[in-house]
């Protein structure tokens, strides 16, 4: 029998894969610390630097919490998911799948679920820090809605991370993802209000996924420039495009290596 014919059911494969990915993350704590600590430090610096000057009619600290939540969600998906996928692909993990009963989708699904959990943990830490150290003044229900919106809005970046993992090399994935996401975040108003950006940048931002991700988050406070349905539609479209692209890149990669 072939490896696929003797493959164990996915009900056993997926939990085992999730456990393996969790252990990998715990044994390399720098990834999870960076994913949680950097947005937190940025929030504590930026969220307390605006004093009581409101943005879009809401407290500056609350507005910045949404911004840093969006920054954290995309960064975790691109860096913790996309770059580690590229590194593990360079280590020959796909060859291991060819010789084992585990299906590739199980591995990708487990990595994606762990990335979602890390994102949720980052959002919770940001929310608790906001309540403890700033005057954002957000209730539990509002924070819960914000976390739900941030998790949904991170899906396009999960797809982007998957595409990055199959198009970039293990050495180039991290700098490409870091620089690219930093530029997207800056151009979308995550580090400073959009009103302070040049007119050309503000116009270009309207087609960026980070812009609509931030709009979805700001909409929790009623501080967005577009309805949440519009932001969700843009993000859903980006998710479909990048998941399709990731699937094509995966098939191309498999054909080149094993075709």
Ordered DSSP codes for 120-187? HHHHHHHHHHHHHHS-----HHHHHHHHHHHHHHTHHHHHHHHHHHHHS-TTTHHHHHHHHHHHHHHH
Considering the domain boundaries, does residue 3 fall inside one?
Answer: no
What would the pLDDT profile of 61-79 be if each residue is shown by its tens digit?
Answer: 899 999 999 999 999 998 8
Q: Which residues contact 76 (CB under 8 A, 6 or more apart)?
A: 35, 115, 118, 119, 122, 154
Q: How many other CB atoms are there within 10 angstroms of residue 185's CB atom?
A: 22
Considering the domain boundaries, does residue 145 fall inside one?
Answer: yes
Collapsing DSSP states into helix, strand and coil, what is residue 58?
Answer: strand
Tokens of 253: 């990669």
Tokens 């493959």: give the residue. 7
All residue ranges of the chain with pLDDT < 50 are 1-7
* pTM: predicted TM-score of the whole model, two decimal places: 0.89
Whole-number pLDDT of residue 5: 42
Tokens of 165: 């993992």
Considering the domain boundaries, does residue 4 fall inside one?
Answer: no
Whole-number pLDDT of residue 6: 45
Considering the domain boundaries, does residue 57 fall inside one?
Answer: yes
d(CA 143, CA 131) in angstroms, rounded, equals 10
Number of structural domains in the chain: 1
Closest C-alpha among 194, 207, 204 to residue 63: 194
Whole-number pLDDT of residue 202: 92
Considering the domain boundaries, does residue 129 fall inside one?
Answer: yes
Q: Which domain holds residue 238?
A: 10-258
| 5 phi/psi in degrees, rounded to 5 | -65, -30
d(CA 33, CA 51) in angstroms, rounded, equals 28
Considering the domain boundaries, does residue 148 fall inside one?
Answer: yes
Tokens 């180039």: give the residue. 172
Considering the domain boundaries, does residue 198 fall inside one?
Answer: yes
């Amino acid at each position: 029998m072939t490896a696929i014919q003797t493959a164990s059911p996915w009900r056993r494969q997926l939990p085992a894969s999730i456990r393996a990915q969790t252990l990998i993350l715990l044994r390399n704590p720098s990834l999870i610390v960076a994913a949680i600590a950097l947005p937190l430090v940025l929030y504590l610096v930026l969220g307390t630097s605006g004093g009581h000057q409101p943005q879009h009619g809401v407290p500056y600290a609350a507005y910045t919490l949404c911004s840093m939540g969006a920054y954290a969600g995309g960064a975790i998906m691109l860096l913790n998911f996309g770059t580690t996928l590229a590194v593990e692909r360079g280590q020959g993990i796909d060859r291991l799948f060819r010789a084992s009963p585990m299906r590739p989708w199980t591995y990708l699904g487990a990595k994606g679920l762990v990335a979602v959990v890390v994102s949720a943990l980052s959002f919770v830490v940001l929310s608790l820090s906001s309540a403890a150290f700033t005057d954002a003044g957000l209730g539990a229900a509002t924070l819960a809605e914000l976390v739900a919106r941030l998790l949904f809005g991170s899906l396009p970046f999960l797809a982007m991370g998957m595409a990055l993992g199959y198009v970039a090399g293990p050495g180039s994935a991290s700098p490409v993802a870091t620089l690219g996401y930093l530029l997207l975040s800056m151009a979308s108003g995550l580090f400073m209000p959009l009103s302070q950006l040049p007119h050309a940048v503000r116009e270009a931002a309207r087609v960026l996924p980070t812009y609509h991700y931030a709009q979805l988050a700001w909409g929790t406070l009623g501080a967005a420039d577009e309805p949440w349905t519009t932001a969700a539609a843009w993000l859903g479209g980006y998710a479909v495009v990048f998941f399709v692209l990731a699937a094509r890149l995966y098939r191309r990669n498999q054909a080149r290596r094993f075709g």
